[in-house]
Amino acid sequence: MDIREFSMDLFSLKGKTAIVTGGNTGLGQAFALALAKAGANVFIPTVMDDDGETRRLIEAEGRRAELLTIDITGDGAPEAVVERCVATLGAVDIVVNSAGICNIAAVDQFDRAQWDPMIALNLTAAFELSYAASKLMIEQRSGKIINIASLFSFLGGQWSPAYAATKHGLAGFTKAYCDELAQYNVQVNAIAPGYYATAITQATRSDPQASQRVLDHIPAGRWGEVADLMGATVFLASRASDYVNGHVLVVDGGYLVR
């Protein structure tokens, strides 16, 4: 593309359809709404009820929202999600693997009962949904897969070895799938959020000493707000990022540099 052809329209998602797992709560809701604001219709597989808030937010942008109550770790669930999305919204152009959990326990208490559900949801479900969607993306010679990694894709992490393992795994999976799918004009990237003001971090933020320990590591001097992730999501989902592939984009206020 000649530089004179560059246009802000490259960031538009008008006419696109996105699947966002866990897209009606926490960071996932921000991802879903960002895509809708950029023009995409959004399909959300979820096990959590938000009383219709996410649907209202998306429809207020003039976009369609379809929610499907389903456990995406179940047998055949990822394929069912893709099929239902195509049936209701007509296509799958973007996949955001956002659903995840973080069980916490001391190392001598963190056993398979803690480990297995996190591997199933955080890593295996992301692979299986990407696998199902990539078949369509290969056929249509276009697509965007965005995995939600973490600072713990780079760090260790006390009290949750499974969380660190799944987020390291997602970073590796992102690079591996990029290497396979780039030839089909499918871009596979990841976003690694830092420390954000969400329900999951409420306990830490409400403890002044614990909160300050986190803030001391963030050059920006504040906890992230979910809106801080929305621009990165639109960029990686849009044509503006067509030559960005296999990248883990850290959005952490500078945490990793300190």
User: Residue 163 catalytic?
Assistant: yes
Q: Which of 130, 110, 255, 236 is nearest to 196 (CA)?
A: 255
Amino acid found at 234: V
Which residue, 78, 112, 77, 76, is CA-closest to 95?
78
Query: Residue 52 to residues 21, 31, 55, 66, 143: CA-CA distances in angstroms?
Result: 16, 16, 5, 11, 28
Answer yes or no: are the C-beta atoms of 229 and 30 closer than 8 Å: yes
Q: What are phi and psi of 71, to 5 degrees?
A: -90, 105
| 142: Cβ contacts below 8 Å, ≥ 6 apart | 93, 185, 186
- Please give the structure tokens belonging to residue 112: 């398979």
Question: Cα–Cα distance between 239 and 11 in angstroms, integer?
Answer: 6
User: Which of 163, 177, 195, 196 is the catalytic position?
Assistant: 163
* Residues classed as catalytic: 163
